[in-house]
Amino acid sequence: MIRCIISMTLLFALLVFASCQTDYDVAEVAPSEHLDVEHPAGPEQAEDETCEECDSEHSIDEQVEDSHAGHNHAQGSRNHGTQWFFNQPWAAPFIWGKLFRDAAIFLVLAVAVFIISGRKRRK
Amino acid sequence: MADTHPIQVVNLRKHFPRKRGLGSVKAISDISFNVEQGEIVGFIGHNGAGKTTTIKCILGLLKPSEGRITLWGNSPAESKVRNKIGYVPENPDYDDSFSPMEYLSMFADMRGLSGMGSDWLKLLKRVGLSKWETTGIRQFSKGMRQRLSLALALQSNPELLIMDEPTGGLDPIARKEFREIIIEENKRGASIFLSSHILSDVETICDRAVILAGGKLMAEGSMAQLLGEENLYRITVLSRKTGEEIEETIPEADLQSRIDHLRRDNLQITRVEMALKSLEDVFIDATAGDSK
Amino acid sequence: MKAVFTFSLMTLRMLFRRRTIWGILLVILLALAAIASVPSFDVSNQGRFILDFGLFGIELGALLLALGLAANLYPRDKETRTLMPLIAVPLSRWQYLLGRFFGAALVQAAALLVTCLGLMLILLFHKLPIPGDLLPATVLIIVEGWFLLSTVFFFSFSTSPPLNWPLTTMLFVVSQMSVVEFVNILPSAPGLMRAVRMLLPHADVFHIKDPIAHGFEIEPVYFFIAIFYGLCYSAFMLSLALAVFRGRDLK
């Protein structure tokens, strides 16, 4: 029965999350005016491209922003979830909203699982 | 009216699933019994009879497959019920980096008891650990760990003391001390549920006994009921064919007629004596054919 | 809650008396010292290098500490039968779980703060500036460590100890991946992978080593939100662990 409760909880969480529009890859949900026209797929795809000169993996954006900084990554650019937060101030609300939404859902689920498993045990 | 039985077990069944989900093993089959207020009840059975399983169900450590267990009419999971219980587990063990005093202080805090260090020193003295209060438990023998276990169980002046083989592995003097403490606690008003292999202990201190074999209840009753209220006599007769002595145990009511019958058959009666029935006899009779 | 508090202190004392914590702490500090001894091209690069890899080392330390401290707590309690006297009378199962968790979490936090102090000393030794956000960044790693700890507790109730290490480490690695990276593991089922990734934790929110290494200013609100997220996820993992524990027969 406990397994059933956990499965139901996970399924519920899965459904809730799957129905949400935004996620941590801000590039997927960002308004078009904020995205680089040449790299519409966003930073994840851009990161996969390789600099021919040095044969190392860093983004085209980095080369533009940090072309004089040798092999250093752009500020915060290696953090997948937080890069937009630090590099694109307009994207911060997306991250905040996402974090708050997730935190609230996990908190509600935690309380629900605690109460349900406790009731089941007392029976 | 509120249920006042410290322990009430009704149609308890417990089976454990086999590995890989291939059926289940029956540990307890439909047993029912009560422990009344102020009683000392002995719980006896051979190894694997289901005593520890029953006790763990009573304490909420195992979930019954079927049936109902209540402590003073409440579920064992209720905290108000658990606060009234003292438990001495079978082969107790404790984190060996602590001392008995540390354990008693921490358990007191966890139970919300108001006792102080001096109270716990008295308690340790009572169970025979007075010189060991600050010694690490890693240096303790099995018997000393059992004494600590008893101290922890007595700490809250429990209304119900559940003891699972508390005197197993103890020397005779320690066993006597344990028995005396159990009787003192009972006089204080505590009900005692004592699981034990040592039938002489059970016979000496218990008001009632519950006998378990193969997960089934084989006998239950007061000591007088189990040992028999009727006097028994043992007649020893000399066999005419082999010359060997043959013993026969019969109730007092049939004694005279049996002697007359033996005399008519010209059999030589060598001895007539009172046969005292022990709990061991009762246990062997009750569990005959179901010892393993 | 007094029972939980007392049991946490008992756990804390027990863990400090074991050698595990001191061994792991020594390994992390030695690793930090090794990072600091790697030669670099110039002072500014060296500072970035030490901060970047130092914080990464502390993060790996959080994983090691979570596993080293907690993976064996419940199995050991069960095996040595110390669990029975505790669970039978003074503690309920949720009190046992929270007591053990808080005790281990405090020890882990103390150890991580010591490593943060070690990193500061290394920076001072190299006459490099100590960023103001280094301590908050360590706090974020501590929260990540608590999330890992709750994961270790969950696996310790639902699997065997030898499986706990690889499963927790796997979750740690997966939780660092972006959605796109995760979907690329199984590109034929993008919907499923996306949904699963959404349910898995986003541990990348705890990583601010790059912004710190590059001297980026981080708004305090970011720390609060990330900490809140980490605590809520830990609570969720603990509730799952409790549900499993409550369903367990303690033979």
Strand partners, B69: B9
**SS3 at position B140:** coil
Mean pLDDT of chain A, nearest integer = 59
| Residue to test with chain C: of A17, A45, A88, A106, most C Cβ within 10 A | A106
Element spanning B181, H or E: helix B172-188
Q: Is residue B71 part of a domain?
A: yes
What stretches in chain B show pLDDT beneath 70? 1-3, 20-21, 228-230, 276, 289-292
What is the per-residue pLDDT across B40-93, written as a single tens digit (0 to 9) for each? 999 988 888 888 899 999 988 888 888 989 998 888 878 788 888 999 988 888
Q: In terms of CA atoms, which chain C residue is nearest residue A110? A: C236
Which residue in the set B59, B63, B95 is minimally distant from C14, CB to CB? B95
The reply to whether residue A79 touches residue C208, judged by beta carbons under 8 angstroms, is yes
Q: Is residue C183 part of a domain?
A: yes
The reply to whether residue B78 touches residue A122, judged by beta carbons under 8 angstroms, is yes
Listed residue (B211, B216, B204, B245) closest to B226, CA to CA: B211
What is the per-residue pLDDT across A29-87, written as a single tens digit (0 to 9) for each? 666 666 554 443 333 333 333 333 333 333 334 333 433 333 344 444 444 555 656 66
Q: In the numeric block, which tokens belong to residue C110?
A: 């103390």
| Residue to test with chain C: of B109, B142, B156, most C Cβ within 10 A | B109
| Residue to test with chain A: of C52, C210, C228, most A Cβ within 10 A | C210
CB–CB of C239/A111 below 8 Å?
yes
Listing DSSP states for B187-249 in one string gives HHT-EEEEE-S-HHHHHHH-SEEEEEETTEEEEEEEHHHHH-SS-EEEEEEE-TTT--EEEEE
CB–CB of B160/B190 below 8 Å?
yes
Count the domains in chain C: 1
Q: In terms of CA atoms, which chain A residue is nearest residue C233? A: A106
| Residue to test with chain C: of A3, A113, A115, most C Cβ within 10 A | A113
Say yes or no: B15 and B147 in one domain: yes
Q: Which chains touch C (3 or more CB pairs under 8 A)?
A: A, B
Count the domains in chain A: 1
Listed residue (A13, B191, B171) closest to C236, CA to CA: A13
For residue A41, what pLDDT is reported?
38
State the residue range of the domain holding A71: 2-122
Chain A within 8 Å of C232 (Cβ-Cβ)? yes
Say yes or no: B131 and B243 in one domain: no
CB–CB of B111/C88 below 8 Å?
no
Q: Does residue B221 come out as left (phi exceeding 0), alpha (psi in the -120 to 50 range) or beta?
A: left
Say yes or no: B177 and B132 in one domain: yes
Q: Which chains touch A (3 or more CB pairs under 8 A)?
A: B, C
Q: Is residue C121 part of a domain?
A: yes
The reply to whether residue C14 touches residue B61, judged by beta carbons under 8 angstroms, is no
**C-alpha span between A87 and A46 (Å, rounded):** 15
CATH number at B261 reads 3.30.1490
The reply to whether residue A121 touches residue B78, judged by beta carbons under 8 angstroms, is no
User: Strand order in B24-35's β-sheet?
Assistant: B24-35, B7-17, B66-70
**C-alpha span between C143 and B258 (Å, rounded):** 86
Q: What is the distance in angstroms between the CA of the first residue and the CA of the last residue of chain B?
A: 41
User: Strand order in B160-164's β-sheet?
Assistant: B85-88, B160-164, B191-195, B40-45, B208-213, B216-222
CB–CB of B189/B161 below 8 Å?
no
State the residue range of the domain holding B65: 7-224
What is the nearest CA distance from B158 to chain C, expressed in angstroms?
A: 11
CB–CB of B170/B146 below 8 Å?
yes
Q: Is residue B240 part of a domain?
A: yes
The pLDDT profile of chain C, 251 residues, written as one tens digit per residue, is 888 998 999 899 888 888 888 888 888 888 888 877 776 656 567 777 788 888 888 888 999 999 998 888 899 888 888 888 888 877 889 999 999 999 999 999 999 999 999 888 888 888 888 888 888 888 989 999 999 999 999 999 988 888 989 999 999 888 888 777 787 888 777 777 777 777 788 887 887 777 777 777 777 888 888 899 999 999 999 999 999 998 888 87
CB–CB of C208/C218 below 8 Å?
yes
The reply to whether residue C181 touches residue A80, judged by beta carbons under 8 angstroms, is yes
Question: Band of the pLDDT at A2, cuts 50, 70, 90?
Answer: low
Say yes or no: B78 and B163 in one domain: yes
Listing DSSP states for C205-224 in one string gives GG--HHHHHTT----HHHHH
CB–CB of C70/C104 below 8 Å?
yes
Say yes or no: B175 and B240 in one domain: no
Count the domains in chain B: 2
Chain B within 8 Å of A3 (Cβ-Cβ)? no
Listed residue (C245, C237, C236, C234) closest to C77, CA to CA: C245
Residues on chain B touching C160 (C-beta within 8 angstroms):
none
Among B residues 86-115, those touching chain C with beta carbons less than 8 Å apart: 86-87, 89, 91-95, 97-98, 106-107, 109-112
Count Cβ atoms below 10 Å from residue C223 Cβ, excluding itself. Answer: 17
Chain C within 8 Å of B59 (Cβ-Cβ)? yes
**C-alpha span between C79 and B111 (Å, rounded):** 24
State the residue range of the domain holding C6: 2-246
What distances in angstroms separate CA C94 from CA A98, C88, C98, one per listed residue? 30, 13, 6
Say yes or no: B161 and B143 in one domain: yes
CATH number at B202 reads 3.40.50.300
Q: Is residue C251 part of a domain?
A: no
Listed residue (B155, C233, B257, C101) closest to A108, CA to CA: C233
Q: In the numeric block, which tokens belong to residue A53?
A: 């000169």
